[in-house]
Amino acid sequence: MTFALALTTLILFLAIGIWIAAILDAVFYRSISGQGGVSVVSPFYAAAAHLSRQRLTTEAPDRLNWYLAIAGYLAIATIGLAVVPFGPETAVIGIKTSVVLWGACESLVVVLVFLHGWSPNSPLALIGAYRYVAIGLPIMLLSMFVLIAAALPARSLDLRDIVASQEGLWNVIRQPLGLPLFLLLGLSLTLRGPFDYADSADLAGGTSVEDSGANRAGWQVARLAMLVGFSAIAASTFLGGYLGPVLPGIVWLAIKTLILMAVVIGLSHLLARMPVARMLGLIWKFLLPIAFADLLLAGLVALA
Amino acid sequence: MTNLAFYTLSALAIWSGWRVFRVDSMIRATFALMVSFICVGGIALLMSADYIGIATVFMMAVEMMVMGLFMVMFMMNPAGLNPMQMVHQHRFSIGAGIAAFIGLTVAVLATNLPNNPLPAGRDTLHNLGVELLGGSMLIFETAGVTLLATMVGAVVLSSRRGRFGDSDAGAVPPGLQPGGQPAGRKVEKSGGHGGHGGDGSHDMNMNMNMKGAPKSDDAPHKGHGKMPEEES
């Protein structure tokens, strides 16, 4: 596959992924609340409704950072998807340190979500921003350990090598602690469910409370794009990415991404929320030691 | 192409570095500095330092986020949105700036910079790993432990609980007149709202960092406006 083809695949993958994620989200929500009637075009209606609305603003906002946060979040999601290999040796960004690049994307998400809540100059958005940083930083530490553990059997920081190293055995079986921990990170990166301390309903929408019109549509699209990017990364790191029999690699990647996307959306609607202090205790005292154990096990296996 | 990228990144790095001193908020200054460092990371990527370049981006993103948070926390400017004076000690800093500029310029001009392009396909990542855990291990481990001690210190300083009780126990806002009653809301000790007792002292002195704060403060703008580059 040439670069142009890979780029086209990336854009299609992202666009279709966002659309399916929006539908899945509505389906889960409605089935839990005992309703039916989700149409496949309803995301487009919602987007059109947002776009046709007036764009409101606050008193003395930091407009530059506000727009940068929304555009940056979408850009980071796209870069995340771009390091995912669509086939052997085929990734839009094919560098030797692609896992580190994804780590950089994760840490920039915290910065951008913070800026998104900080720049409107509005109290609820600001509270959401600070809360998110408190949760977002430790949960990112956790993902670093998990990702290093996943890179150990491949002896490489290249996501293409990590996928190739799962030819015989997927990482989800080789490192059983990895995927569950990584999915929690996904909930945090996409601002969902129990890890949504930024945009949650208890702050009337948190960092996006002041978004309206096209800004709100852009932020929601960026969140869904991040879900697609994260799921593709998780599918490549733990479920063998494009590896699979008969079907072409890109189809396998799409299937695995879809499954993980559904799992993340399901978790976000089913898991209970916690107060920030309790969540911090859970992350620092419980989840982080488990992530250590994951890395330790991977290291011992690599030495043996 | 590489040249264009280099000059664009350099210009952006310099511009955002200049913005650090011209903006009027700690958060803006922090993230302007982050953009500057990310551009430097991009330049490192152009020099085939794959790992160092990208590691700079993620280290700086996390570090600047933490730094911004700590600055806001310690300086009682709750949002970082209030305009504040970011430069102080003008005469000293102008002198220090000129001295640093001359020193660095002399260093750049006097150094015999290498001009040998990296051979294609060389594994810089592997070499870096060997260097980190080989010859330079003592240096990096020393730096690592020192930084860890600093982090523990920062956590201890920002913790509410301390050896001598809660840090805000007994803290009262200054009086409106010298020696007068403390300003702010009086906390009622009725016991009916157990969880809320003591919150009344948090809103003290929020105005201290604001531009145009009353000059009756003992030391206006002294000890505030810590410059972000101290941590990096």
Interface of A to B at Cβ within 8 Å reads: 62, 65, 95-97, 100-101, 103-104, 106-108, 110-111, 114-115, 118, 121, 126, 130, 133, 137, 140, 157
pLDDT beyond 70 at B224: no
CA distance A235 to A231: 6
The larger pLDDT score, comparing residue B201 to residue B128, is at B128
Both structure tokens of A38: 């989700």
The residue whose two tokens read 């491949």 is A154
The chain-wide mean pLDDT, for chain B, equals 76
Whether B183 and chain A come into contact, CB under 8 Å, resolves to no
Q: Which helix or strand (DSSP H or E) is residue B39 part of?
A: helix B26-46
CA distance B204 to B171: 10
pLDDT beyond 60 at B225: no
- Going from the C-alpha of A148 to that of each of A38, A132, A142, A153, A302, the distances in angstroms are 40, 24, 10, 10, 12
- pLDDT, tens digit (0-9, with 9 covering 90-100), for B108-134: 999 888 877 777 667 778 888 888 888
The per-residue pLDDT string of chain A (304 residues; one tens digit each, 9 = 90 and over) reads 578 888 888 899 899 999 999 999 888 888 888 877 778 888 888 889 888 988 888 888 888 889 999 999 999 999 999 999 888 877 788 888 889 999 999 999 999 999 999 888 888 998 899 899 989 888 988 899 999 999 888 888 888 888 888 888 888 888 888 899 999 999 999 998 888 898 888 888 888 888 888 889 999 999 999 999 999 999 999 998 888 888 888 899 999 999 999 999 999 988 888 888 899 889 999 999 999 999 999 899 888 8
Q: What angle do CA B25, B31, B34 make, to 5 degrees?
A: 145
Whether B47 and chain A come into contact, CB under 8 Å, resolves to no
What ipTM does the predicted assembly reach?
0.86
Whether B29 and chain A come into contact, CB under 8 Å, resolves to no
CA distance A236 to A99: 11
Question: Which residues make beta-bridge pairs with B182?
Answer: B175
Question: Which residues make beta-bridge pairs with B166?
Answer: B161
CB A123 within 8 A of CB A41: no
Q: Which of A83, A130, A131, A156 to mutate to test the interface with B (most CBs of B within 10 A)?
A: A130
Quote the pLDDT of residue B218: 43
Q: How many residues does chain B have?
A: 232
Pick from A300, A280, A299: nearest CA to A141: A280
Quote the pLDDT of residue B228: 43
- B87-116 average pLDDT score: 89
CA distance B10 to B17: 10
Pick from A11, A18, A68: nearest CA to A225: A18
CA distance B90 to A156: 50
Q: Which of A63, A76, A98, A108 to mutate to test the interface with B (most CBs of B within 10 A)?
A: A108
